[in-house]
Chain A
Amino acid sequence: MKSATVRSSAAAAAAVPKAHVDVRPIMLLVALMVLGLLLVGSPSTWLTLTVAGLAMGFIIFIIASGLTLIFGLMDVLNFGHGVFIALGAFVATSVLGGMAGWTTSPSVLLNLLAVFSAMVVAMVVAGGVGWAFERVIVRPVYGLHLKQILITMGGMIVGEELIKVIWGPLQIPLPPPEALRGSFFIGDAAIEKFRLLAVAVGLLVFLVMMWVLSRTKVGLLVRAGVQDREMVEALGYRVRRLFVGVFVTGSALAGLGGVLWGLYQQSVTPQIGAQVNVLIFIVIIIGGLGSTGGCFIGALLVGVLANYTGFLAPKVALFSNIALMVAILLWRPQGLYPVTSR
């Protein structure tokens, strides 16, 4: 009887208009895609570029999502996040290199399993290193922003050098496995198979993340902690432990992103971390520090824009990201979806 009361009250509450989701940033993405169609002209080229852009965007989201949560929850900005990206990419070269039997096979299933194994191993390694990184490098400098920036930078230098120690300082090719090379054709549009895979993985990660954040208690704690960490502690939750978990997850995700990025670029260098770092920072500034939704839209915007400008005006590519960042900050100085009550 009492449960019925609560349920009916919930139903009654549902009749009360809920706060509307702010769709303007999503509209911005759609507007960008429409603009791209107009400027590019050919729908098939547009489709190719857009899929490529979305793929790139999803990969960037996977990498950046962890970082934005880490910052939102514990006010720690890991300038060394790039290390995990590079680590993931290099681990993939070793795993896929060792599974040459599967990667050269024409069977899609074996190929997918090989890539999947690389992803899993990369995530485990990156997560493990992330745990060590948090303990040794980050933990002593909570709340000291200047030292954080310096020390995480230092961590990145050391990490990059250690990668060179293990894998050598040179570029290593990372081609996708047999069956995942080449493209599907929809009319005139060539859609690279691997990019579709990246979109699929990215979408999966996004959905899982959203589910965890909105439907589980842990996710609830993270969302609450991003807003008001002190109050969450006062409610009896050990936020420090939560943070380690988020840090490890963020690092693992960066490793996963590294695998995908390496396959997307088809090669891996030790500088890959530093290169992607800049993109990541732009994305999380655009999205709003601490906001997963903002990070998602921001990543897609950056990915799609990069591919459009790469086609239309290649010289302006990286500049376009800065311009986008400036434009969005002028519109919303705290990012697309600012996190309230910091």
Chain B
Amino acid sequence: MIIQRLLSHDLPRSRWLAAALMATVLLLALAPLLFPGAKSMGVAAKMLVFILLVVSYDLLLGYTGIVSFAHTMFFGIGAYGVAIASTRMGEGWLAVATGSTLALLASLLLSLLIGLFSLRVKAIFFAMITLAVAAAFQTLASQLSDFTGGEDGLSFRNPLWLSPSFRLFDAPVLGVHIDGRLLAYYLLFGVVALAFLLLLRIVNSPFGRVLQAIRENDFRAEAIGYRTVVYRTLSNVLAALFATLAGVLLALWLRYTGPDTTLSFEIMLDILLIVVIGGMGTMYGAVLGSVLFVLAQNYLQDLLALGAGAFVGVPVLGAVVSPDRWLLWLGVLFVLSVYHFPTGIVGRLRTLAAAQPDEADKADKADKAGR
């Protein structure tokens, strides 16, 4: 079937998951029609960007077993590439193309360097080094203010067709105006969809299988004859390139880039949270997780505010349920996930689907034994 080939034979394998994914795709595809408000469009666009960002991280963490804290750095490189080019060269497609290409090249080089230099060392070493490098980059971005706009970042204009004031047709189509925002949105949607399918193809290819072998037992993989350093570096590079792409898309959507939209450590933590809770090594986990996370980030706070209203005046409980502290609950969920649900939401759904409904207990045991 076409769907099978499109998804590189990596199916959801769970009715709930498939339903959730289909709903996601539909809602995101039709977002400009269904939720045309500025905030809701922003949420949908952020979902798209995060999907790409986290799915590329899943390649690194979930499939290759590498923890890197430099992912947001590549994200930032993409965004800054477009921003700086558009500011210096004047806005337009040439600037976007130049900026993106240079950003991708920079990411390629940087990820190669990091990979070759640090992947020869233990995982913990590597994680620390990426942490340090990302922190340095963040400082650099805010220090070189002539170039990067410093703490304030860079605002710029998009190419004509992606500018909000642009109208393709004067009259609305299906109730919405085909303006620059809409076009920008569908650009994001198209690129993310393609990239996702491409990544799905990558992880289900022989290359992807070697990565998983390395993740499970790198000694054995090396013994069999795979140069693990090469594969790991490649995985690093690929993840970095897709993250850079995500950065380009974010810049095009926001028409602004700053240290806090892309380089902040909070975003890195968010990525980690999503990929673990969603389900490492599943790709779909990153998709579902990103959607749920962005939803929570924007709307859960309102929900918590309701709850907090009930606790107003109560000292500790009030602060704990405060909407600003939603990250606390996410953190707790994260820690629990690492222990008890290492396969994340997607893994859980799949295990439940593999068993009969009234044998959910057996599925639980199989899950524990298998991991």
Contacts and interface: CB of A to CB of B under 8 A. Distances in A.
A332 interface: no
Contact of B135 (A153, A157, A318): A318
B338 A147 contact: yes
Contact of A161 (B135, B272, B328): B328
Interface in B315-371: 316, 319-320, 322, 324-325, 327-328, 330-332, 334-335, 338-339, 342
A157 B334 contact: yes
B327 A145 contact: no
Contact of B140 (A146, A162, A166, A319): A319
A321 B269 contact: no
Nearest to A164: B325
A179 to B, nearest CB: 35
Contact of B272 (A153, A165, A169): A153
A196 interface: no
Given A153-B269, A281-B131, A145 B124 contact: yes
Nearest to B328: A161
A321 B65 CA distance: 28
Contact of B136 (A79, A145, A281, A322): A322
Given A145-B123, A150-B276, A150-B338, A281 B328 contact: no
Contacts of A69: none
B161 interface: no
A322 B114 CA distance: 13
Given A145-B124, A315-B144, A158 B132 contact: no
Given A147-B338, A150-B272, A165 B328 contact: yes
A274 B331 contact: no
Most buried by B among A145, A147, A150: A150
Interface in B90-137: 122-125, 127-129, 131-133, 135-136
A151 B335 contact: yes
Nearest to A271: B265
A278 B319 contact: no
Contacts of A322: 132-133, 136
Q: Which secondary structure characterizes the binding site on chain B?
A: helix
B127 A149 contact: yes
Nearest to A323: B136
Interface in B273-325: 273, 276, 316, 319-320, 322, 324-325
A255 B325 CA distance: 23
Interface string B134-159: 01100110011000000000000000
B65 A165 contact: no
Contacts of A164: 324-325
B67 interface: yes
Given A153-B272, A274-B265, A281-B128, A146 B123 contact: yes
Contacts of B127: 77, 79, 149
Contacts of B328: 157-158, 161-162, 165
Nearest to B275: A150
Contact of A285 (B123, B125, B144, B272): B125
Contacts of B124: 71, 77, 145, 149, 289
Contact of B324 (A147, A169, A315): A169
8 contacts: A79-B127, A146-B65, A154-B338, A161-B328, A166-B319, A278-B131, A285-B125, A319-B139
